[in-house]
Amino acid sequence: MLTVKEFITELQNLTNLKITQVNIAGALGTTKSNISLRIKNNSKITLEEMKKIVVYLNLPGTHNVLNKILEKQGRLASDYLGENSMPVCNDILDIDYYPTVFGSCGSGSFVFSEEKEKLQVPCRLVQNYSKFKKYSIINATGDSMSPYILDRDKLIIEHYSGGQISDNRIYIFRFLDNLFVKRLVLNLDQIIVISDNNKYPTRTIDHDNFDNLQIIGRIVGILREEF
């Protein structure tokens, strides 16, 4: 099995993301110092921990990401978690794409139009796909969520149907007539709004402003090529 350091390296090579010890600690519910110690001691990482990290980072296609890493070890994710635990969808989906709608990864972007077309997307690129959920695709603009989301990426959205916000997941939401793409974290009577790019400040939405917040959906996939 891989060490923590080897897994981080493999994941960075596969996704072209800069993955920090803080990210790993958040995924595993521990501290940065504990992760540093595990790296120093060449500690092994379990598959369940790998899965938690991939899900925490909101990477699309959890099963496929893990398989690409584990195939170097001559194993598959299903060998560890079972075929039914992380089902693979091989269908091609027709998803509504709004080419002139922009979700801001910066200071905010207006919705210019609701013209739409169909975009064909491999099902495997949609995290935890369900035929009972609604999906759409818009464009990203700005660099506040880089390196995970880049300017002009196409974002696959799982439409919000109510319920509690999942901490540290990336959402698209409307606030005061602007669209934003940020990580959201619940904190007592406020919502913390986090950018992946540390040059952008962390902000909060207080309870008094909740009426101005409309969560549209969660980002469950990213397209950087035309399909």
Q: Between 107 and 169, where is the model more confident?
A: 169
The pLDDT value given to residue 18: 80
CATH code of the region 92-223: 2.10.109.10
The pLDDT value given to residue 114: 66
Q: Between 84 and 138, where is the model more confident?
A: 138
Q: Does pLDDT of 78 surpass 50?
A: no
Q: Across the chain, what does the average pLDDT equal?
A: 81
Mean pLDDT of all residues in 66-89 = 54
User: pLDDT tens-digit profile of 39-72?
Assistant: 998 888 887 888 888 888 776 666 667 767 766 5
Mean pLDDT of all residues in 121-142 = 87
Mean pLDDT of all residues in 4-9 = 88
Q: Which letter does DSSP use for residue 44 in this model?
A: B
Percentage of the chain beyond pLDDT 70 is: 82
Please say whether the beta carbons of 174 and 139 come within 8 A: no
Q: At what angle do helices 62-70 and 47-56 cross, to 10 degrees?
A: 130
- Give the strand pairing for 135-141 and 92-104: parallel
The pLDDT value given to residue 204: 93
Residue whose entry in the numeric block shows the structure tokens 């495997």: 124
User: pLDDT tens-digit profile of 152-192?
Assistant: 889 999 998 887 787 778 999 988 878 899 999 988 889 99
H or E segment at 96?
strand 92-104
pLDDT bracket for residue 206 (50, 70, 90)? very high
CATH 2.10.109.10: which residues of the chain?
92-223
The pLDDT value given to residue 86: 45
The pLDDT value given to residue 227: 41
Q: Does pLDDT of 126 surpass 80?
A: yes
Q: Does pLDDT of 226 surpass 70?
A: no
The token pair that represents 128 in the structure block:
């935890």
pTM score over 0.85: no
In angstroms, rounded to a whole number, what is the distance separating the alpha carbons of residues 10 and 14?
6
